[in-house]
Amino acid sequence: MSLPLLPVWIADLLGSALMCCFALLAMQVATRLRRTDPNNVVWTYLLWLCYALTAFALSRSVGHIARRLLLSLGCQDLWRSLQPVSGAVNSLLFVVVASFTLFFERVWRIYQEILADKRALQTAHGELLYLNRHLERLVEDRTRELSVSERKYHRIFETSQDLIMVTAADGLILDLNNAGTRMLGVSSTAQAVRKLRFKDFLANETEWDELAARLMRDGAISNAELRLQGLDGRSFPALTSAKAEQPEPGAASAGIHFLIKDISKRQVMEKQLLLADKLSSIGQLAAGVAHEVNNPLGMILGYTQLLIRAENSGTQRYDDLRTIEKHTRTCKAIVERLLNFARSTQTLREPGDIHQLIDEVLNLLKHSLEMDQIVLEKDYDARVPLLPLDKGKMRQVFMNLLVNARQAIGKQGMIRLATHFDADRKEVMVQVQDSGCGIQPEHLNRIFDPFFTTKATGDGTGLGLSVSYGIVQDHKGQILVTSAPEKGTTFTVILPILTLETDQPS
Amino acid sequence: MRKTTRFGPFFLGTSLLALMIPGTAAATQVHVPSEGLYIHQIAHLFFALSMAILLYWLRQRQLVRERGWRLIQLAALFFIIWNVDAFLVHILDDRSDLFRTIDAGTWHASIEFERKVELLALFYYLGKMDHLLCAPGMILLYFGLRNLLHEAQRHPESHGITATGDEHLPPSPAPDRSLSCSDQG
């Protein structure tokens, strides 16, 4: 069997021509591709691969075509001498193409790394460009933000109602806010402040050593109660927190930041709360006792009156029964006042003129004051508005205060009644000042206690001020007292301006 | 304790003995004609292997998702088949016991063979038309490169290469366009 070789030769010749043609075309495209980005290592690699493939295609195709031509022309000898050279070159170019091809993975990896570096450089470049173009604006923005921040913290420092202070490690004051200068009674100039030490303001100077030791050990102290004394001589309890600053690298020592709160008012309030609690307990106890005692007293009084009715007047027995009746009535009066004190009757407030109310009480006492040659001074503030008052109860308050003032003066003296309207604090103050004997300092804390009295037996029950205290508290107010022995006493009733609907300060 | 073996005296003795009994010198190897064919065949296999590796990398890096690289992959495949075909045909070229070329070198030359090797002869006959494999490979390479060129011209910023498959590369840093300041209040 046989097969003609002509189709093989035709395929050989045409294929060789096509190989040459497309190899050259591929090389041309690869050249153009590289020109799009000469730095692209993949394109360079493809170009070199195309060079190798073109060389291979040309070598092989030229060899094949030459073979056909030489054999057709009968130049077998010439071909026989060229054939080994052509074959060797072909083999060599196979190896070259294969070697180039194997470098693809390495080239690709290098390309990716270059690409990543390029991206990073482009990002950095873009960022630098942005900063160059906008640096001025960015700095301005940042400066503005810092300025706002600085103002905010400075405002907190300046407007704080508590003392804020920065000292050196040895306690030398470096900075002190306005509240601090007020509290310590020092001049607010920076120069004056910076000569002082915190130690100088401690009522007990030895406390500084303990304070410094704690700061050194723990780095901070929290809510330590100290007694401070200002340059003006005012002594007050203070709640002190402090934090030792971490020293900057290279700095010799760190500063200390103090935050100090004046707690004198809080302590007064705590005492008042304690008093209110005590009054409440005593009131409950007294109410129980009074209720039990009231009925037997009624029986004693009733039977005593029956016996008086059956006895002729003028006899010794009649006088004795009258004495029993009198003292039983006194007992009943005490018990009733005690019950009034203990009963929490509802306070009914309606708008009332405080001046008119005080005058009504004065009218009742006018005669007895004149009898004792006591001068009455009135200093009413015309701006005082109408106040929501339980008139009956408030009359009782001023009656108690004025009777106490009259009893403290005895004969010849002065009682001054003054009112004042504080529009800022929305309060009305009523002062009852007398020139009497005053109250001993040791009694001052007890004068609002029930049954506490310094009067002679029978002159006072010790319930007047307790009852008054309760009434003023029902009106959301305060009753304060200042007194100096032999110089007189001043009671101050402070009433807030409340709205009737909410009972809240308006 | 380190154990040492002394070979010096042995080599010296052997060398002296060889000098005393000289024979035929074989300093340069003589090359036989078949050596050229072997080299050529090995070159074909090396060519095929390198193309197979290229094909593997193109797929592994997911470059074949793009048309240009896909065509280059097909070109590599054709070159592999061509090399295998050429390798086998070169082996069969030497089998004069199976095939005889009549009127070699003329336009009416033919191959004669026995009926019993008809299929092998048919493979040999078709295999000799190896340009049917290598020419399409070259054409596919051309079209693949042309496609890459178009892509590169269309998207210069992507460098004509979008598929990378290189997740291990470090990501580029995100730009931060604000001034840093540690003591912000």
ipTM: 0.73
Inter-chain CB proximity A37 and B185 less than 8 Å = no
- HSE-CB of A205 using CA atoms within 13 angstroms: 3
pLDDT at A468: 87
Higher pLDDT, B6 or A144: A144
Convert A103-154 into a string of H (helix), E (strand) and C (coil): CHHHHHHHHHHHHHHHHHHHHHHHHHHHHHHHHHHHHHHHHHHHHHHHHHHH
pLDDT at A27: 95
Residue from B58, B74, B102, B149 whose CB has the most chain A CBs within 10 Å, to mutate = B149
The string of pLDDT tens digits covering residues B143-153 is 999 999 999 88
pLDDT at B167: 40
CA distance B185 to B172: 31
Q: Residue B106 — pLDDT band, cuts 50, 70, 90? A: confident
Nearest CB neighbour to B179, from listed A7, A29, A142: A142
Q: Nearest CA to CA, how far is B12 from chain A (Å)?
A: 42
Contact present, A467 and A477 (Cβ < 8 Å): no
- The phi, psi pair for A233, rounded to 5°, reads 90, -5
pTM for the complete prediction?
0.47
Contact present, A321 and A304 (Cβ < 8 Å): yes
CA distance A241 to B57: 71
pLDDT at A457: 58
Over 90: is that where the pLDDT of B79 sits?
yes
The answer to whether residue A12 neighbours chain B at the CB level (below 8 Å) is: yes
- Residues from chain A that touch B39, judged by Cβ atoms under 8 A, are 88, 91
Q: Which residues on adjacent β-strands are paired with residue A505?
A: A498
Q: Nearest CA to CA, how far is A503 from chain B (Å)?
A: 42
pLDDT at B52: 96
pLDDT at B28: 65
- Residues from chain B that touch A5, judged by Cβ atoms under 8 A, are 101, 109-111, 128
Inter-chain CB proximity B178 and A138 less than 8 Å = yes
Q: Nearest CA to CA, how far is A71 from chain B (Å)?
A: 5
Q: Nearest CA to CA, how far is A272 from chain B (Å)?
A: 42
Q: At B57, which helix (H) or strand (E)?
A: helix B34-60
Q: Which two tokens stand for residue A506?
A: 């308006």
Nearest-CA residue of chain B relative to A85?
Answer: B36
Residue recorded with tokens 């190899």: A23
CA distance A293 to B21: 154
Q: Which two tokens stand for residue A381?
A: 């503030």
Q: Which two tokens stand for residue B96?
A: 């004069």
Q: Which of residues 160-219 of A touch B (CB under 8 A)?
A: none
SS3 A31: helix
CA distance A440 to A454: 10
Nearest-CA residue of chain B relative to A40?
Answer: B159
Contact present, A451 and A457 (Cβ < 8 Å): no
Nearest to A375 by CA among A332, A426, A411: A411
SS3 A363: helix
Inter-chain CB proximity B44 and A94 less than 8 Å = yes
How does pLDDT run along chain A (506 residues), one tens digit per residue? 788 888 888 898 999 999 999 999 999 999 999 999 888 889 999 999 999 999 999 999 999 888 888 888 888 888 888 888 888 899 999 999 999 999 898 999 998 898 889 889 999 999 999 888 888 888 999 999 999 999 998 888 888 889 999 998 888 888 888 888 888 888 766 666 677 888 888 888 888 888 888 888 888 898 888 889 888 888 889 999 999 887 776 665 678 999 999 888 888 778 777 877 776 677 777 777 887 888 888 889 999 999 999 888 888 999 999 999 988 988 887 787 777 666 656 667 888 899 999 998 888 888 888 888 899 999 999 999 988 888 888 888 998 899 889 888 888 899 999 999 998 888 999 999 999 888 888 888 788 877 777 766 556 667 788 888 888 888 889 999 998 888 899 999 999 987 655 554 44
Nearest-CA residue of chain A relative to B59?
Answer: A105
